[in-house]
Amino acid sequence: MNRKEALEIVKEQLNEARYTHTVGVMETAIKLAEKYGEDVKKAELAAIFHDYAKFRPKDEMKEIIIEQNMSKDLLEHHHSLWHAPVGAYLVQKEVGIEDEAVLRAIEYHTYGRPNMTMLEKIVYVADYIEPGRSFPGVEEVRQSAENSLDEALFLCLRNTIVFLIGRKQPIYPMTINTYNSLVQ
């Protein structure tokens, strides 16, 4: 599947702002893949489809999580996490993408996992630092991504955890596990 076809498919699933974000993630993921020696086509494809399920109804996502035996602890945390694993499932089912590396990069782009692959790190970081993002700490992560993808990932996770703590919101355990795997 080429870039044009993929973008046409995903555009039907997103609003204009999220589509613009997706293009930014794609462009950032391509640059990071080139810089860090990852498969550029896989990074491009995973980035294009990373938010494929973002606007699916919560009830539909919940049903898929249950029916597909995804981690039940997802249901105990904010629904904004759900679109990543549900998106990986739907991209395979509806779009026909079978590449496991691409699907895992989509699946883990919201909370990560210990021992992430290079492709998974690229999509996670690209989602955080794409040019349309503007919030405290993003410039530090952008600069870090120029030198070390692991350091950039660490900063993404640290900033997210601090943000959630500041808002007195629960932190998904896999996010903590991902953070811990980077500092140990």
pLDDT bracket for residue 184 (50, 70, 90) = confident
Residue 106 is predicted with a pLDDT of 98
Where residue 37 falls (left for φ over 0; alpha for ψ -120 to 50; beta otherwise) is left
* 177: pLDDT strictly greater than 90: yes
SS3 percent helix, strand, coil of the chain, rounded to 5, is 70, 0, 30
Share of the chain above pLDDT 90, in %: 99
Q: Which amino acid makes up residue 138?
A: V
* 40: pLDDT strictly greater than 90: yes
Rounded average pLDDT over 142-159? 98
Q: How many domains does the chain have?
A: 1
What is the per-residue pLDDT across 114-135, written as a single tens digit (0 to 9) for each? 999 999 999 999 999 999 999 9
* 81: pLDDT strictly greater than 90: yes
Residue 56 is predicted with a pLDDT of 98
Task: Give which of 140, 144, 101 is closest to 123, Cα–Cα.
Answer: 101
Rounded average pLDDT over 68-74? 94
Q: How many residues does the chain have?
A: 184
The model's pTM: 0.97
Provide the CATH number for the domain around residue 98: 1.10.3210.10
How many Cα atoms within 13 Å fall on the side-chain side of residue 3? 10
Mean pLDDT of the chain: 97
pLDDT bracket for residue 68 (50, 70, 90) = very high
* 15: pLDDT strictly greater than 90: yes
Q: Which amino acid makes up residue 53?
A: A
Q: What domain range is 171 assigned to?
A: 3-183
What is the Cα–Cα distance from 101 to 152, expressed in whole angstroms?
21
